[in-house]
Structure formats: structure tokens, C-alpha cells
Amino acid sequence: MKDPVNSPKKSSDRGGDRPPSGFFPRWMNINLLAQDVSFFILGLIGASIVGWIIFPAVLYSKHPQPINFNHALHLDSEKVDGIEGETKAEKCLFCHSFRDDGTFAGIQKLEKCTECHDDPESPLGETPAEKTFMTKYVANEEEIPWLVYSKQPDCVYFSHIAHVKMGNIDCATCHGVFADNEKLPLYVKNRLTGYSRDIWGKRISGFYWNKKFSDRMKMDDCARCHTEKDQEQNNACFVCHK
């Protein structure tokens, strides 16, 4: 009779026959380990697909703007009278202007559009968007229900004049480049909060290696820019909150 303790291991043992590995201890079963790791990787890939692709697709809804405003066309000084400016911000301020008390008019009302587009019968250009604009809004004197990409929550106070005029910050630093857009991007809305995705940012990882701010407009981005520009006193709560 063989001594069961001293007899060589049989293939019926867990893991089967395998040469002893130098790296792994003898009791560790490589096959089972490989199985566990592969399950983990599969789970990670599955969770990543859910978290990075499926969930954002469900969370955000996309809305087109009521009419397609062509920024590139309107910023052409050959086509639009009086839009000359040395800096880009000055050109933006032609429509998105400051009021006399320093507050920012934001997206202008129809009144500003009809300074040029005054007659609904004779459009200035040939685009279908302008035709819609003329027949639907100018003729009926109806305000265009723009969807504001950068609309902040109610508790946020932001002074445009402090940043654009006193701080010499370009509009595109926060809003991204709109000046060259021939087509307005889709308005992406968070179904739960109702806020625009431009506030939260499109990058889910949240890492910004090139310190680009235009992707999102969160409190931390404001604070980081304040700190970088040596304006730390403006990180106090009652500067941006109301």
C-alpha cells in the first residue's frame, strides 16, 4: 500500500497537472486565478460601457435650437454693418452687449435682430433658417425660445463685465468658440437636473491636462481660474453666489 501522504499528486487534484511556477507559490491555482481576472476584466468592461456610454445616453436628451443662427455669417464684417472690432470679444459685444448699468444682456431679444432684419417680406440672405425666422418670429413679433447653453443654476451670480471688460478674458475662454460656427450645436439637457451639459462638461473623466476651460463651467473651474490669475479673494462665497 502506498502512503497517501508521500504519493505524487494526481491529476484529479484541483487545477490538474502543471509545472511548478517560480513566481506563484505552489498552493496558488493559476487557472482559477486567470478565470477570476478574466471575470473582473469582463465586469470592468461591462460597467465601463454602462457608465460611460449607456448611462449618459439615457441621462441626456438632445434638442435642436428653434432656428439655426449662423455665427460665422453674422461675424463677417463685410456682410454685417458695424461689427468691426479689434478683439473677438468686441465683435461678440455687438449683439451680446452690456446695458448702461453694466449688466449683461446675454442672448438678445428679437428687438436687436430687427434692427437689421426689419422687414419680414424682404429677407437679407437666402438661407432657409432666415426664412423661418422671418415668417415665424419677425412677422408675428414673437420672441425666439432660445435654449441657453450656459444657463447656470439660480444660486449663481456672474458678472460678465468684471471678466470681459475688467479682466480682459475672451468670451471663448468659458463659452468655447462660437464665432466660427455655421451651425448651432445641439442643446444637450440633463433629464434629471434640467441643466445644460455645457455646465457639467462632456468629459466624464473630469481630467483636463491642457487646462482648457471651455468644456465645462463648474464652480471649481471658476475657482481654479481665479487662483491662477491671482484673484483668490474672489473665491469667497458671496462673490459668485447670491
Partner 1 sequence: MKKANDHGKFKYGMVIDIDKCTGCGTCMVACAAENNVAVRADQSDKERTITWMRLYKISNGKEFPKAEVSYFPRPCMHCDHHPPCVSVCVATATKLDFNTGIVSQIYTRCIGCRYCQAACPYGARYFNWWDVFPQDKGMDRYLTPEVSPRMRGVVEKCTFCHQRLMRAKTLAYAEDRREIEEGEYVTACAEACPAQAITFGDLNNPEHEVSKLIKHPFTFRLLERIGTEPKVYYHSNRDWIRKLGDNFLPGEYTPVVNKSWAEEEWSTKPGRDEF
Looking at beta carbons only, is 16 or 153 nearer to partner 1?
Answer: 153
Q: Which residues pair with 224 in a beta bridge?
A: none
Footprint of partner 1 on residues 132-161 (CB under 8 A)?
A: 153-155, 157, 159, 161
Which part of the chain contacts partner 1 (CB under 8 A), choosing from 5-13, 17-25, 173-181, 230-238?
A: 230-238
CB of 217 to partner 1, least distance (A): 16
Which residue bears the cell 456672474?
158
Footprint of partner 1 on 68-107 (CB under 8 A):
98, 100-103
Q: Does 236 bind partner 1 (CB under 8 A)?
A: yes
CA dist 30 and 237 (Å) reads 56
Contact call for residues 117 and 100 (beta carbons, < 8 A)? no
Phi and psi angles of residue 61, each rounded to the nearest 5 degrees, phi first: -110, 150
What count of residues does the chain have? 242
The sign of the CA dihedral 34, 39, 42, 44 is: negative
Of the two residues 104 and 146, which places its CB atom closer to partner 1 in the complex? 104
Dig out the grid coordinates for 60 from the structure: 441626456
Give the span between the Cα atoms of 174 and 226, in whole angstroms: 13
Least distance CB 100 / partner 1 (angstroms): 7
When the beta carbons of 100 and 126 are compared against partner 1, the nearer one is 100
Binding site for partner 1 (CB under 8 A): 98, 100-103, 153-155, 157, 159, 161-162, 165-166, 233, 236-239, 241-242
